[in-house]
Structure formats: structure tokens, C-alpha cells
């Protein structure tokens, strides 16, 4: 792997941290804004007013950047989408930053990355942005970030709401995925370590859901194992597979504590919606004595490790765009062939039981008027094709969202929204 974009990203970050706080002369090139985190050298996290000021500045600074409100939280805070790119492109990457409000390092990495790509003038970055559209939701849970809580203002874990879409935050993200069809969905989080067994600087994990197309699944694993982890390790960070405890002596797996194939999690929903999804988790806990004594030092490590991993993502996107586009493009059309089982359980490391496999799926599902009225907005947000009737609606399986339909409507699916009537007559 050639660390082209990664090197640029880290150099920009270092320059931003080192930049003096001076007022630029009237005729000088505008000084790129810094985050509150950078201003204090990691002593505190960027405030909401500072974030809004930075986004307003980059929105005006370059034609390649636009900032839009895509949703509004219960406490009236904006959920925003930043688009960075020189022109419309085939290849689209979506960053979802800090879905959990008490996990701020991903948000900081996203904000500084937005700034760096806005002001970058080198040919390599401009070429990258001429072929890739980068979409960023810098604060996916604004109310939770304000309160420093995992959930939103109702206490709901947004990362368990990507199927039912009951929160304003998850609905906003679903609309972005539906409208932009990203090839990669990269989800930035943090985790609490368990000494000896589970304490890498960074963990990551691809979609484990068995309904993920095989080629898309393969690209997500390539992103993890051949790009994100090597990029982080090159910069001195340790990496591993999220949710798997390992023996500190042998390195062999001990037990799985997280990371199953649950469809309501964004990492898995990404695969179901034909994107190479990747969850990334930086370690919250200090490891060294220096980090224990200096909270800012620990905070900087949390953010810079995320930045290193993002560099691997950018290298992957730049070098494997053809393979990625081929995989996601084919997956989006496969559902129209309407064949093969649909899985309502299991994972890529946990084969589905017969009871978790719809071996011979129906041709579609019929909803009565009340059922359709209850979930029509959610079906639309998921991009599910629906045929309306006076008595309700018919949802065919022959569509791009083929595997998603039973997960929403079949009583055998653990998180289904309604129990629709299977129609076996095609």
C-alpha cells in the first residue's frame, strides 16, 4: 500500500496543531480554521459553536465543499452533511462520526479531515477529490454529544435504530444512504478496553450479516485488513478485530463479546444496502503512565489513531475504486434476479440455523392499509419499492432491497416492524 493520501492527511493534521494563532493580513491566503480540540492541544473537545463556525467557514472557502442540514434532533440541533468533491463522481464514501455522543474522537477526526480536504491544494488530493465524493456527517448524534451520553435526548441508541428508523438521527442517515448510494460507509466509534484480552489502540469490523453480497463483504474485509489496519500500524498503533477477546500470549481468540450480524446496526445495514461497511473503534482508556497522568495526551492519541485509520480508508478508495464500484454496482442489481435464501440470523462467523434461513422466500409481502400507514415513511426512507393498492400495499422481493424486505416484514425476522402476509404466487 502506498501511503499517498494518508501521508497528506497526517501532514495536514500536524500543521493544524502547530499553526500559530495569528490574524492573517488582508491580502494573505485565509488561514484554515482550527477545531476547539486543536486550539487546546486536546485538553477539551470541540464545542458545538466552534463546530458550526468551522463548518460555516469551509462552506464558503471552496467550491468543492457544501454543508447542508439533513435533519433536526428533538432538541432542535441540526444533523448536517458535508459534501467534498471537485465534481459528481461514481465513487462515494460516507463517514458517520460519533453516533454515540460520549465517543467524541471520531467527530474530531472528521472535523479536522473536512478542514484539511477543504484547503488542500496539492495535485494528488485534487485528483483524489476529482474521482471520489466524500460525504461526512460530522456529528451524527448532536443531542448526545451535548449531554455526553451514548444515546440521543430520548436515551435511544441510534446505532440500534437503522432498521426501524424511529429516531430523527437514524432517519437522516437512511435518507443520505438512499439518495447517494455510497460505496463505503465508515462508522467511527470508541470502546472501553479490558486489560490483557481487549486493549488495542484500534479495533475494526466489517458487516457480518449473511445477507451482505459476497463481493461487497470481501471488499469490506480488504479495506480493513489490507488498508486501515496497516495504515494505523505504520503510525505505531495496535489493531485487531472488534468484539473478539484474544489470549495475550498466543493471540488466539478467547471469546466473542460483540460484533454479531444484527441487522439494525449500521455496520450490518451498510452491507445489506450494498456498501462496504466498516466500524472503527479507538480505545478510550489510557494505556501508558504518561496518558494516565495527562488526559490531553490520551485524547490526542484517540483522535490521531482515528486519523491514521482514515488515511487507510482514503488509500483504499483511491487504489481499489474499480473493484469497489464493480462489487457494489453488481450487488445493487442482484436482487432483481430474485433468487437464493434470505437470512434472519447468523453471521459470517456463525452459520445460520435452519430456523434462521428463509430458504424459499415468497414473491413478496402484502400489507393491509393500517400496516402500510404505520411504516410507509420508513419503507420510503429505506428506498424499498412498494406497489400501492386500495386495500394496502404489495412489496415485491424482486428489487435492489431484496434481502432487506423480509427483515422488515417477515415474522421470522427478530426486529421486523410489522407481520406482513407472504405471497407465494409470483
Q: Give the DSSP letter string of 37-53.
A: HHHTTTSSPPPHHHHHH
pLDDT at residue 155, as a whole number: 98
Higher pLDDT, 68 or 21: 68
Of the residues 305, 330, 355, the one at which a domain ends = 330
Q: Compute the average pLDDT of residues 39-61.
A: 98
The tens digit of pLDDT for each residue in 118-170 reads: 999 999 999 999 999 999 999 999 999 999 999 999 999 999 999 999 999 99
CA distance 144 to 157: 10
Work out how many domains the chain is built from and give that number: 2
**Res 122: pLDDT:** 94
Note whether 40 and 28 are within 8 A (CB). Answer: no
Same domain, 88 and 138: yes
User: What is the domain extent for residue 72?
Assistant: 4-330
Contact 361, 342 (CB under 8 A): yes
Both 291 and 249 in one domain: the answer is yes
- Specify whether 245 is located in the same domain as 390: no
The verdict on 217 and 115 lying in the same domain is: yes
Question: Which residue in 375, 193, 350 sits closest to 287, CA to CA?
Answer: 193
Q: How far apart are CA 187 and CA 160, in angstroms?
A: 13
Share of the chain above pLDDT 70, in %: 93
Angle at 62 between CA 57 and CA 64, to 5 degrees: 125
pTM: predicted TM-score of the whole model, two decimal places: 0.94
Answer yes or no: do 299 and 216 share one domain. yes
Task: Give the domain-ending residue among 330, 355, 371.
Answer: 330
d(CA 378, CA 262): 18
What Å distances lie between residue 117 and 1, 59, 111, 125, 319, CA to CA?
21, 12, 10, 8, 18
Is the domain of 318 the same as that of 347? no
- pLDDT of 17 strictly over 70: no
Q: What's the pLDDT tens digit per position in 255-266?
A: 999 999 999 999
Instruction: Indicate whether 228 and 371 sit together in one domain.
Output: no
Residue-wise pLDDT tens digits, 365-404 = 999 999 999 999 999 999 999 999 989 999 999 999 999 9
Residue 10, pLDDT > 90, answer no
What is the domain-level CATH number for residue 163? 3.40.630.10
Are 366 and 296 members of one domain?
no
Which residues 6+ apart lie within 8 Å of 198 measured at CB? Answer: 245, 246, 257
pLDDT score at 90: 87
pLDDT at 29 over 50: yes
Of 299, 330, 361, the last residue of a domain is 330
Give dist(CA 270, CA 178) in Å, integer: 11
Q: pLDDT at position 21, please? A: 37
The answer on 380 and 297 residing in a single domain is: no
Q: Would you place residue 244 in the very low, low, confident or very high pLDDT band (cuts 50, 70, 90)?
A: very high
Tens digits of residue pLDDT in 189-237 = 999 999 999 999 999 999 999 999 999 999 999 999 999 999 999 999 9
Whether residues 136 and 35 fall in one domain = yes
- 57 and 26: one domain? yes
Q: Are residues 363 and 315 in the same domain?
A: no
Amino acid at each position: 500500500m502506498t501511503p499517498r493520501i494518508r501521508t497528506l492527511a497526517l501532514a495536514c493534521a500536524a500543521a493544524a496543531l502547530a499553526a500559530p494563532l495569528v490574524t492573517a493580513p488582508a491580502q494573505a491566503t485565509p488561514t484554515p480554521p482550527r477545531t476547539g480540540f486543536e486550539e487546546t492541544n486536546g485538553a477539551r473537545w470541540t464545542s458545538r459553536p466552534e463546530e458550526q463556525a468551522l463548518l460555516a467557514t469551509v462552506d464558503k472557502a471552496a467550491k468543492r465543499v457544501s454543508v447542508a442540514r439533513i435533519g433536526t434532533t428533538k432538541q432542535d440541533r441540526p444533523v448536517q452533511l458535508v459534501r467534498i468533491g471537485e465534481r459528481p463522481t461514481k465513487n462515494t464514501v460516507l463517514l458517520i462520526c460519533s453516533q454515540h455522543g460520549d465517543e467524541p474522537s471520531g467527530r474530531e477526526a472528521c472535523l479536522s479531515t473536512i478542514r484539511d480536504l477543504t484547503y488542500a491544494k496539492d495535485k494528488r488530493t485534487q485528483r483524489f477529490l476529482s474521482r471520489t465524493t466524500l460525504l461526512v456527517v460530522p456529528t451524527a448524534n448532536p443531542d448526545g454529544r451535548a449531554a455526553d451520553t451514548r444515546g440521543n435526548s430520548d436515551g435511544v441508541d441510534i446505532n440500534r435504530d437503522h432498521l426501524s428508523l424511529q429516531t430523527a438521527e437514524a432517519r437522516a442517515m437512511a435518507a443520505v444512504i438512499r439518495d447517494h448510494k455510497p460505496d463505503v460507509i465508515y462508522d467511527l466509534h470508541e470502546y472501553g478496553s479490558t486489560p490483557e484480552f481487549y486493549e488495542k489502540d484500534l479495533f475494526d469490523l466489517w458487516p457480518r450479516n449473511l445477507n451482505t453480497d459476497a463481493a461487497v463483504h470481501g471488499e469490506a474485509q480488504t479495506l480493513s485488513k489490507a488498508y486501515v489496519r496497516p495504515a494505523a500500524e505504520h503510525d505505531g498503533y495496535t489493531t485487531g478485530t472488534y468484539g473478539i477477546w484474544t489470549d495475550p500470549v498466543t493471540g488466539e481468540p478467547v471469546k466473542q463479546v460483540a460484533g454479531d450480524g444484527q441487522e439494525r446496526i449500521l455496520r450490518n445495514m451498510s452491507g445489506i444496502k450494498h456498501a462496504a461497511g466498516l466500524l472503527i473503534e479507538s480505545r478510550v482508556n489510557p494505556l501508558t503512565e504518561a496518558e494516565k497522568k495527562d488526559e490531553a495526551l490520551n485524547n490526542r492519541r484517540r483522535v490521531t489513531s482515528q486519523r491514521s485509520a482514515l488515511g487507510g480508508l482514503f488509500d483504499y478508495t483511491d487504489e481499489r475504486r474499480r473493484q469497489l464500484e464493480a462489487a457494489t454496482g453488481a450487488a445493487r442489481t442482484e436482487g432483481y434476479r430474485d433468487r437464493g435464501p434470505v437470512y434472519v440470523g447468523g453471521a459470517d462467523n456463525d452459520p445460520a440455523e435452519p430456523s434462521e434461513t428463509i430458504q424459499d422466500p415468497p414473491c413478496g409481502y402484502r400489507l393491509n392499509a393500517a400496516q402500510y400507514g404505520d411504516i410507509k415513511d420508513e419503507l420510503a426512507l429505506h428506498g424499498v419499492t412498494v406497489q400501492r393498492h386500495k386495500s394496502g400495499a404489495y412489496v415485491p422481493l424482486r428489487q435492489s432491497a431484496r434481502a432487506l424486505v423480509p427483515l422488515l416484514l417477515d415474522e421470522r425476522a427478530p426486529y421486523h416492524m410489522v407481520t406482513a402476509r407472504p405471497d407465494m404466487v409470483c
